[in-house]
Chain A
């Protein structure tokens, strides 16, 4: 054995006190496993809801927002009139959408942009009626952006292209109305327009909000439902280079147009703040558990030091420095920490694997948790760091032992 004498002593303490080592390492194991598991869970949920958001949201949307009339109209020369605030928007249209779309696409940070015409749709069959949302889109471009192609369970998106009497509906609508591919469906709008359309595709996004209400038609079909002309567009969707850096892009786009430019974080603020709260809570709870677990090392090392105070005194008499004593006891904590952390990571990985095989039912499907190397690295570093601290403080106490005081007793 060619260990340095400090490590040799540390290792001997560890080996001759197997039970204490085991208990201390077990604490760290549990702490690290829970920390890893909870953070993986939280990250899984965040990814899940993010994926959900991007099924129907682009990074940025541009639309005409409602304008409210001012309740007070002050007029220095006449009587001031007070009246109820009212929405003064007469039309939801974006004027000259193609020019705006073209301009938006020219921005270097925009990767893709599409126009869309939204309307409230009622799907009818016999006496059954389902309310939902109709989306007039260029299906190929739309699918490029939202990967709708991936979710098609019957028919194909190509069949809608240029087919003004075609419609793609969600699986939930198809099941409720017991309709299949090639069947006809009666769709009406809140403007009293009713059309019989042929189902050319069915999608299943695994999200009941979408599958039970959403449908796609061509842009001009949607315009007819709204009794609007061919330039009527409600929304422009745009994707950017980085979904997490949309703030700057929004500012730049807003300077191009008077229409409302909104990033996905704003649109989904409720979901995102829920995510943040969950992440913060899980992070705090798991960190506390890890901290508490590290007290095991602190306690056991403190006990070792109390018990071995004579040994420490004799080592110092023989010429070991304060720094050597710190090294000895920090190494002990470190060994326990490494053992505990590595086993903890293994336990965490097993837990995550088991959990990822648990089926939660729709709309979530399988538990949205997976092994994320980044979180493993984070848990490892944190586990080692915390055990290092838990070892350092008792070790420093040991380093300050005055041998003379011990020998006098």
Chain B
């Protein structure tokens, strides 16, 4: 049984959009996420999943309520400070892979670590190779990112998200553009990260199979949490 160490929690998160008319996109969202948990966010299109994820990621700061990351209340912190938190503790994977096309895969993976700057260039390079190897991409390391297939690019972006060994990995529809084979690969990686490395995955998805196989699923409707499937505690005994 894993101990339930909270790494991210929200308290009564609310958010409005004012364009074209004022409406509440997040309504009283309160939940916790734990160390080593593979959490999925589901819900109909337009239910506010992406909006919630951007708030959790610290990139969107225009919300009411409170967000805690790794025991620290980050609500209202300066944007530069939030950038440091993201650099250290949060990895991102997006539906569109957003690799920097001029750089090799290896360099793309290295960038967040070079930005963090607490390792030498050689150490970072070594580590980037390890991450690429873990994702089965060692041979592609020196190719330009734009020359890879979609599935490979998504795996490179996962390697990039992992380079600083962040406690949190956030994904917005990471498999939205992938075929079933690549979806399975990505899923297995996430499973491995949460189980073996105790990293916390928070993934938005509308792939039901993907969600079902995760540790826990939070379902949103009209910005409200309508169900908390607490699969996490039972997953060990299954």
Partner of A318, one of B54, B79, B86: B86
Q: Does A69 contact B (CB under 8 A)?
A: no
Q: List 13 A-B contacts (CB under 8 A).
A: A1-B121, A12-B102, A12-B103, A311-B98, A314-B100, A318-B112, A319-B87, A319-B88, A319-B116, A321-B79, A321-B80, A324-B115, A404-B60
A13 within 8 Å of B by Cβ? yes
Interface magnitude class on chain A: 20 to 34
Count residues on chain B whose CB falls below 8 Å from chain A CBs. Answer: 29
Which chain A residues lie closer than 8 Å to B92 at the CB level?
314, 317-318
* B172 in contact with A407 (CB, 8 Å): yes
A1-20 to B contact mask, C-beta < 8 Å, 1/0: 11011001100110010000
Which residues of B does A touch, CB under 8 Å?
50, 54, 57, 59-60, 79-80, 83-88, 92, 94, 96, 98, 100, 102-103, 111-112, 114-117, 121, 160, 172
A319 and B83 contacting across the interface, CB-CB below 8 Å = yes
Task: State whether A311 touches B100 (Cβ < 8 A).
Answer: yes
In the complex, whether A44 has a CB less than 8 A from a CB of chain B is no
Report whether A404 and B80 are in contact in the complex, using a CB–CB cutoff of 8 Å.
Answer: no
Given A16-B102, A318-B87, A322-B80, verify A5-B114 contact (CB < 8 Å). Answer: yes
Q: Cβ of A370 < 8 Å from any Cβ of B?
A: no
A316 at the interface (CB under 8 A from B): yes
Q: CA separation between A404 and B115, bound complex, in Å? A: 20
A408 at the B interface (CB under 8 A): yes
Provide the bound-state CA to CA distance between A4 and B100, in Å.
Answer: 17
Instruction: Give A236-247 as 1s and 0s: 1 = Cβ < 8 Å from B's Cβ atoms.
Output: 000000000000
Residue-wise, chain A 301-313 has the 8 Å CB interface mask toward B (1 for contact) of: 0000000001101
Smallest Cβ distance from A309 to chain B, in angstroms?
11
CB distance from A403 to the nearest CB of B (A): 5
The minimal Cβ–Cβ distance linking A372 to chain B, given in whole angstroms, is 42
The binding surface of chain B is classed by DSSP as helix
Task: Output the least CB separation between A320 and chain B (Å).
Answer: 6
Cα of A321 to Cα of B96 in the assembled complex, Å: 22
Contact partner of A2 among B50, B121, B172, CB < 8 A? Answer: B121
Closest partner residue, chain A, to B82 (CB atom): A319
Nearest A residue to B114 by beta-carbon distance? A5
The residue in A1, A322, A407 that gathers the most chain B C-beta atoms within 10 A of its C-beta is A407
Measured CB to CB, the nearest residue on chain B to A408 is: B50
Most B Cβ at <10 Å: residue of A316, A317, A319, A323: A319
B168: min CB distance to chain A, Å? 13
Residues in B with CB closer than 8 Å to A319 are 83-88, 112, 115-116
Residue ID in chain A nearest B79 by CB atoms: A322
Nearest chain A residue, comparing its CB with the CB of B164 = A319
Chain A residues near B115 (CB-CB < 8 A): 5, 318-320, 324
Instruction: Give A407's nearest chain B residue, CB to CB.
Output: B94
- Which B residues are CB-close (under 8 A) to A408? 50
Closest to A17 in B: B102
Q: In the complex the two chains form, is B54's CB within 8 Å of A407's CB? A: yes
A317 B59 Cβ-Cβ under 8 A: yes
Note all chain B residues with C-beta closer than 8 A to A318: 86-87, 92, 111-112, 115, 160
CB distance from B23 to the nearest CB of A (A): 16
Q: A316–B98 contact, CB under 8 A?
A: no
Question: Smallest CB-CB separation from B161: which chain A residue?
Answer: A318
Contact of A317 among B79, B86, B96, B103 (CB under 8 A): B86
| Bound CA–CA A314/B96 (angstroms) | 11
Cβ contacts under 8 Å, B117 to chain A: 5
Alpha-carbon distance A314/B111, docked complex (angstroms): 11
Is the Cβ of A320 less than 8 Å from the Cβ of B83? yes
Q: Which 5 pairs across A and B sit closest by C-beta, in order of nearness?
A: A319-B87, A5-B114, A314-B98, A319-B86, A16-B102
Q: How far is A290 from B40 in the complex, measured between Cα atoms in Å? A: 57
Q: Which parts of A93-141 form the interface with B (CB within 8 Å)?
A: none
CA distance A394 to B92 in the complex (A): 27
**Shortest distance between the CB of A298 and any CB in chain B (Å):** 22
Residues B116 and A313 in contact, CB atoms below 8 Å apart = no
Residues B54 and A5 in contact, CB atoms below 8 Å apart: no
* Max count, chain A CB within 10 A of own CB: residue among B84, B100, B117, B121: B100
Q: Report the separation of the CA atoms of residues A364 and B12 in the bound assembly, to the nearest whole angstrom.
A: 85
Q: Which residues of A contact B50 (CB under 8 A)?
A: 407-408
**A15 and chain B: residue at smallest CB distance:** B102
Residues of B within 8 A of A407 (CB): 50, 54, 94, 172
B112 contacts which chain A residues (CB < 8 A)?
318-319
Contact between chains at B102 and A310 (CB < 8 Å): no
A266 to B103, CA, bound (A): 67
The CA of A313 and the CA of B160, in the complex, are separated in Å by 15
B60 — which chain A residues lie within 8 A by C-beta? 404
C-alpha spacing A316/B103, complex, angstroms: 17
| Most-contacted residue by chain A among B60, B79, B83, B116 (CB, 10 A) | B83
